[in-house]
Amino acid sequence: MSAPQNPLRVGLIGYGLAGRAFHAPLIATTPGLRLRNVVTADPERRAQLSSEHPEARAVDSTEQLLADAEHLDLIVIATPNDTHSPAARAALEAGLPVVVDKPLAPTADEARALVELADRRGLMLTVFQNRRWDSDFRTAQHLIADGALGTVHRYESRFERWRPQIATGWRESADPAKAGGVLNDLGSHLVDQALHLFGPAAHVYAEVNARRAGAVVDDDSFIALTHTCGVHSQLWMSAVAAQPGPRLRVLGDQSAYTVRGLDPQEAALRAGRRPGPGWGEPAESEWGLLGPTDEARPYPSLPGDYPAFYTGVVTALREGKPAPVDPRDAVNTLTILELARRSAAEGRTIAVPR
């Protein structure tokens, strides 16, 4: 019997919302990983880190973290969107595999360059597309693969919120060139999910709007994709939806599946809970409806499973298996988002280059 392996030592860059509420708890509860260092110079966040992860040591900068590269096995980047690319490049050049929160980079070209660098270095590069492990998405994916809906012809997906006042922080105040706005923030998830379900898109149509007074980035956007397989995906992302629509609806020629509530994992992580028994299981009242109108009945949801992402990271690094998210998928998503902005600016449908 082989001796047990030491946990992979993780350096986390950023301890804001993404780092503190999502990445750090998932890293800390994944067998085979150990949170060793966290980059944050903010005194309040350092105090939170000391309380929540006393085993981890805070460092002031990415440069300081990477100067200790020989004592790390993995870098996780959870910083503002426009800093993802330079941080990922620095980590790869230091010889370390990398997890990057979505989006991988501000542009598809920058993302493609990172993928090429990782390939040349023989290093894992993956993107935290955690919404692939949402309860609603996992259940829809299962039903589609099982043929329960027949031939799917339309897919609708929404992340809509009601935030009539502009919030502080880079997501709502950053220049679009720095990857702020709902198209980059929420659209990164919605487009990734649609492409993951139905494959490449042939055409893109989009509407990109900044509706709130003083808004400098888009807060209400829509994307329509025509996939090469023939399915039409309609994706809404908004901060000004006073009555949000269904989270997800899939229409087939034999049946349909509709979910209204959100996956419970984000709320649980924000509340400080960590994965354990019953993790990611929606209440029965939040199950989606399966069936045509007169026959639609609640269908038991598969549990959400964000921990599966980091389990996949461990498997990729220990066993040489594929990364849990292919970074080329992130390049494809960014390509669609760029075409969406062009479509909105020109007021027309854009063909996706092949």
Identify the CATH number of the domain in which residue 103 sits: 3.40.50.720
**What is the CATH classification number for the domain harbouring 178?**
3.30.360.10
On whether both 17 and 91 belong to a single domain, the answer is yes
The pLDDT score that the predictor gives to residue 173 is 62
C-alpha distances in Å from residue 295, one per residue of 5, 254, 292: 53, 12, 5
On whether both 101 and 157 belong to a single domain, the answer is no
150 pLDDT more than 90 = yes
CB pairs under 8 A, 24+ apart, for 61-66?
A: 62/13, 62/87, 62/90, 63/90, 64/39, 65/11, 65/13, 65/37, 65/39, 66/11, 66/90, 66/91, 66/94, 66/96
328 in a domain, yes or no?
Answer: no
Q: How many residues does the chain have?
A: 354
Q: What's the whole-number mean pLDDT along residues 171-190?
A: 80
1 pLDDT more than 90 = no
Q: What's the whole-number mean pLDDT along residues 4-22?
A: 94
User: 12-21, 166-175, 271-280 — which is least confidently predicted?
Assistant: 166-175
327 in a domain, yes or no?
Answer: no
Q: What's the whole-number mean pLDDT along residues 322-340?
A: 98
81-104 confidence digits (pLDDT tens): 889 999 999 999 999 999 999 999
Rounded Cα distance, 288 and 297, in Å: 8
187-212 confidence digits (pLDDT tens): 999 999 999 999 999 999 999 999 99
Q: What's the whole-number mean pLDDT along residues 283-288?
A: 96
On whether both 122 and 43 belong to a single domain, the answer is yes
54-63 confidence digits (pLDDT tens): 999 999 999 9
The pLDDT score that the predictor gives to residue 166 is 82
On whether both 186 and 234 belong to a single domain, the answer is yes
On whether both 212 and 281 belong to a single domain, the answer is yes
74 pLDDT more than 90 = yes
Q: What's the whole-number mean pLDDT along residues 303-326?
A: 98
Mean pLDDT over each residue of the chain, to the nearest integer: 95
3 pLDDT more than 60 = no
Number of Cβ atoms within 10 Å of the Cβ of 317: 18
**What residues are paired with 76 via a beta bridge?**
12, 99
79 in a domain, yes or no?
Answer: yes
User: The domain containing residue 209 runs over which residues?
Assistant: 131-305+335-351
41 in a domain, yes or no?
Answer: yes
On whether both 177 and 87 belong to a single domain, the answer is no
For the chain, the domain total comes to 2
Residue 315 three-state SS: helix
Number of Cβ atoms within 10 Å of the Cβ of 61: 12
Residue 24 three-state SS: helix
3 in a domain, yes or no?
Answer: no
Asked if 55 and 154 touch (Cβ cutoff 8 Å), the reply is no
34-45 confidence digits (pLDDT tens): 999 999 999 999
Rounded Cα distance, 75 and 88, in Å: 8
Provide the H-helix boundaries in the chain.
Answer: 17, 24-28, 43-52, 62-66, 84-93, 108-121, 135-145, 170-173, 182-185, 187-198, 265-270, 307-319, 327-346
Q: What's the whole-number mean pLDDT along residues 107-123?
A: 97
